[in-house]
Amino acid sequence: MMLLDAVYDQAQASTQLLALVGGGGKSTTAFVLARQAKARGLKVLITTTTKMYQPSSDQFDTIIDAENLSYQIDSHDSSASQADRRAFVFSTVAPGSGDTTESAPLRARHYTPSPWPTANICFCYQDIIEDTENKEKNKVTGLSFAMLNKLKSAALFDLIIIEADGAKHLPIKAPSGHEPCIPSFVDTVIAVTGCEVINQKIDPRQIHRWTDFQHITRCKAGEMLDQQVLGRLIAHEDGMFKHAPNRAKRVWIINKVELSPNYIAVKALAMALLRQEMRLDVICLANMQASIPIKEVMTKRSITMSDEDG
């Protein structure tokens, strides 16, 4: 199964909003999803509600700042059909240059409507935070909830993917007081965890916001990061799915399974957690860097049916 099939509801006609939280490969997951959606002919927007690293140009087809995108939505005829509204693509251009996105400065504040490609991945940002020592490590700030709601209502994209928190490149985390930045109208919340810490001794150096993690899971350094600890993290109102709306689908991606010394044990842990009475709909075992990222997909429904048949 493709990751897209596990998180995207093809029967739903309106724009779907997906939020990525956690650690262990959120950005990689976002662009894997975007490429799979593009291959299906879907139009995708990727952005953040906090900060994220500016992606490389080979990861998207179009880049635009929030001001341009907002201007385009406002200036377009609101009475147009959904198909007509999707007949535009937005490109950032240098003032007076006529250059396309690829050659234009990212801070430009002009737009050029042009024919929408058959499939498209668009990256949108608010502002760029430049790294004076390494331009490749520039970060961008993202969109407000109001802007995301406006985009979702405009139905210009089939899928909007947002990064909703940060993890300092660590495989697992607990949210702090202000995190994650998830709007109430999100359709799916996807939590990502690096498999290298699962069923291993707990090392605070591998956990982002260790104090919060320790408080939520009631664990200690040196204990095993096992089913019990992860179950508390998933179930706690301030844990893995903090701020996820009750109606939103909840997906847990255990990424980098190739780093686990015992894949069978990780799979058994995932199945056991799905059997528990907690809000968790899907677990994906994955290696997001592989050509076929998803190794296995388990759902609460499939586990329940299997148990009943057995």
**Boundaries of every domain in the chain:** 3-75+113-307
Check residue 177 and give its pLDDT.
87
What average pLDDT score do residues 244-267 get?
96
Check residue 105 and give its pLDDT.
40
Check residue 96 and give its pLDDT.
36
SS3 56: coil
Strand order in the sheet with 43-48: 62-65, 120-125, 43-48, 159-163, 16-22, 188-194, 249-255, 282-286, 294-299
Report, at the CATH architecture level, how domain 3-75+113-307 is classified. 3-Layer(aba) Sandwich (3.40)
Within 10 angstroms of residue 38's Cβ, the number of other Cβ atoms is 20
- Mean pLDDT is lowest, of 63-67, 88-92, 143-147, 174-178, for 88-92
Q: State pLDDT tens for residues 87-133.
A: 555 554 433 333 333 333 444 445 555 555 667 899 999 998 987 77
Could you tell me which residue, 308 or 300, shows the higher pLDDT? 300
The answer to whether residue 232 scores a pLDDT higher than 70 is yes
Q: 234: closest CA among 300, 289, 288?
A: 300
- Mean pLDDT is lowest, of 87-101, 128-142, 292-306, for 87-101
Q: State pLDDT tens for residues 169-226.
A: 999 999 998 899 999 999 999 999 999 999 999 999 999 999 999 999 999 999 999 9
Query: For residue 135, what pLDDT band results from cuts at 50, 70 and 90?
Result: low
Could you identify the residue written with the tokens 């385009």? 72
SS3 299: strand
Check residue 103 and give its pLDDT.
35
Check residue 98 and give its pLDDT.
38
What is the pTM for the complete model shown?
A: 0.87
What average pLDDT score do residues 75-88 get?
54
CA–CA separation, 185 and 193 (whole Å): 24
The runs of H, that is alpha helices, within the chain are 3-7, 26-39, 66-75, 82-85, 145-154, 210-217, 227-235, 263-275, 300-309
Query: For residue 14, what pLDDT band results from cuts at 50, 70 and 90?
Result: confident
Mean pLDDT of the chain: 86
Strand partners, 53: 139
51-53 and 127-129: which strand pairing?
unpaired
> Which residues make Cβ contacts (< 8 Å) with residue 234, sequence separation at least 6?
191, 240, 241, 252, 273, 278, 280
